[in-house]
Amino acid sequence: MTRPLVHLICGSTGAGKTTYAIKICSEVGGVRFSIDEWMATMFWMDSPWPLDSAWSIERVERCYAQMWRTASEIAGRSVAVVLDWQRARYADLAAKASLPVKLHFLDIPVDERWRRVLLRNTDRGATHQLPFEVTREMFDFVESMWEPPTAAEVAALRGETVAG
């Protein structure tokens, strides 16, 4: 079996994607790409308040594109990369680049994820990259859009489900 070079971490808000991605990087000697970190470093300090979704989406898309350009170059040199968002997009791009993929689905119950978000809002630990607290309204909005991977998707991406 070919060693995966692209690790895709997926889960809804508060699932622990960043923490898990750090763990996987340590295990495989990989390089991690996190949309929250890129946005925090490059754009959040300049964001309008209240947040403007069009402004945010434009910058998120720029980050996704640059993250993939960099990640695919690294993976092309046989170094694993770990991406913690946009699994379908990155799975398609990896397939087009003939890079082997592994999906890691963090299947954490909603109540536990909300508890983690509240804790993260309060302690502002190392994995909290947003310049604002995630409100219940924000959490529920993302939750309404979240689509967990199907069993077929997990199988197709040589994936594993991590239950919590």
User: 94-109 pLDDT, tens per residue?
Assistant: 999 999 999 999 999 9
pLDDT 10s digit of each residue in the chain, 164 long?
567 799 999 999 999 999 999 999 999 999 999 988 888 888 877 877 877 788 888 999 999 999 999 999 999 999 999 998 789 999 999 999 999 999 999 999 999 999 999 998 888 666 555 666 788 998 999 899 999 999 999 999 999 999 97
The CATH number of residue 24's host domain is 3.40.50.300
The pTM of this model reads 0.87
What range does the domain containing 39 cover?
A: 6-163
Spatial distance between the Cα atoms of 47 and 27, rounded to a whole number of angstroms? 35
Report if residue 1 sits inside a domain.
no
The number of domains in the chain is 1
pLDDT for position 46: 81
Inside any domain, residue 10 = yes
Is there a domain that residue 61 lies in? yes
110, part of any domain: yes
Instruction: Answer whether residue 148 is part of any domain.
Output: yes
- Cα gap 134→47, rounded to integer Å: 16
pLDDT of residue 133: 79
Establish if 34 belongs to a structural domain: yes
Strand 81-83 and strand 101-107: the pairing is unpaired
Do 101 and 95 touch, CB atoms closer than 8 A? yes
Instruction: Report the candidate in 156, 11, 141 with the shortest Cα–Cα distance to residue 84.
Output: 11
pLDDT for 67: 95
- pLDDT at residue number 2: 66
Q: What is the pLDDT of residue 26?
A: 96
Which whole-number Å values give the CA distances from 103 to 109, 115, 159, in the listed order? 19, 25, 4
Residue 54 pLDDT: 87
pLDDT at residue 47 in the model: 77
- Helix ranges (H only) for 45-135 are 53-75, 87-96, 110-123
